[in-house]
Every structure is written in C-alpha cells, then in structure tokens.
Copies of this chain bind each other. A is one copy, B any other.
Amino acid sequence: MGRKDVKTTTRDVRTGSIGWMLKRLASRLDGDMNARLAPLGLELTSFAVMMTVLEHSPLSQVAIADLLGMPAYKVSRALDHLERQGFVARSPDPASRRAHVIAPTGAGVAIAPDLYAVVGAVNARLAEGLSAEEKALLITLLTRMVAAQAARDEA
C-alpha cells in the first residue's frame, strides 16, 4: 500500500455527489418548466398549486399549503392569479365560514391535459439518456428517498 486509502469520500464533488447532481438537474428544471409554462400564462408556483387543486379538489388553502410544503401567503397569491385567469374558484365552505373551498373551474379542468403534457415533456427530457428499465428504476429509487425524507419530517 503505497498510499493510504483516503477515498472515503469522492475527491471530486461535482461528479460523485448525489446532492450536487440533484441540485444541478433540479436547477435546470426550473428554467425548462418556466419556459413551457409561460405560453399557458403560468409560473412555477401557480402551476404547483394548480396541479394540487386538480388532483385533490375540493380542498382548503391550508390543505394546499400542507401538501406542497408552501407558506400560506404564497398559496393565497397563486390562487389570486389562478382565479383571475379563471382556472380555479374559491367558494364558501358550508362547514366553516372562515374557510374556502378551492376547486378547478371548467377552464381549469380543460387545461389539465396541457399541464400534464408539460410534466411529461420535462420528465422525458430529464430521462432522455435512460432506457425504460433504467427510468423505472430511477423512479423507484427517488420514491424511496422522498419517502425516507417524509418519514424523517414526522419524527
């Protein structure tokens, strides 16, 4: 052993680090997403809220904030936009006069396919160099990582 084995950690952060690569991939995502959402008149925050409304409606604003891990004031603003654009509606909650029931309008449901198309396009581009099996594997691994993260949050 000429040299002591100090390779406990990779010596080049950029190539070996999961976190570094994750961040790099995610940061490009933002630009890509925004570019594709702009024609639809949406920004990233509104998009995230809209997806949540489409998939979990009817729900309250705190519920949206919880699901997305997003502060309440952002949800409020995003809904302002989305309501002005006619994609969602805030209606009074029969169960509580301080809460709103958020639901997509007809127009909101109508653009859903476009939104899913954006998601599909972005994901396809992300996994461009991977085979179908590799892509499935990646999803499995990422899912486990997200789940572990969520589990830690509760503890």
Could you tell me the distance between the alpha carbons of A83 and B62 in the complex, rounded to whole angstroms? Answer: 45
A15-B143 contact in complex given A22-B26, A26-B26, C-beta closer than 8 Å: yes
- How many chain A residues sit at the interface, stated as a range, is 35 or more
> Which residue in chain B gives the minimum CB-CB distance to A30?
B23
A127-B145 contact in complex given A9-B119, A17-B119, C-beta closer than 8 Å: yes
A21 x B143 contact (CB < 8 A): yes
- Contacts of A118-138 to chain B: CB distance below 8 A: 119-120, 122-123, 126-130, 134-135, 137-138
Q: Which residues of A contact B (CB under 8 A)?
A: 8-9, 11-29, 33, 51, 55, 67, 116-117, 119-120, 122-123, 126-130, 134-135, 137-139, 141-149
**Contacts A17-B119, A22-B25, A128-B148 supplied; 6 other A-B pairs, CB < 8 Å:** A9-B117, A22-B29, A126-B145, A137-B141, A138-B141, A141-B141
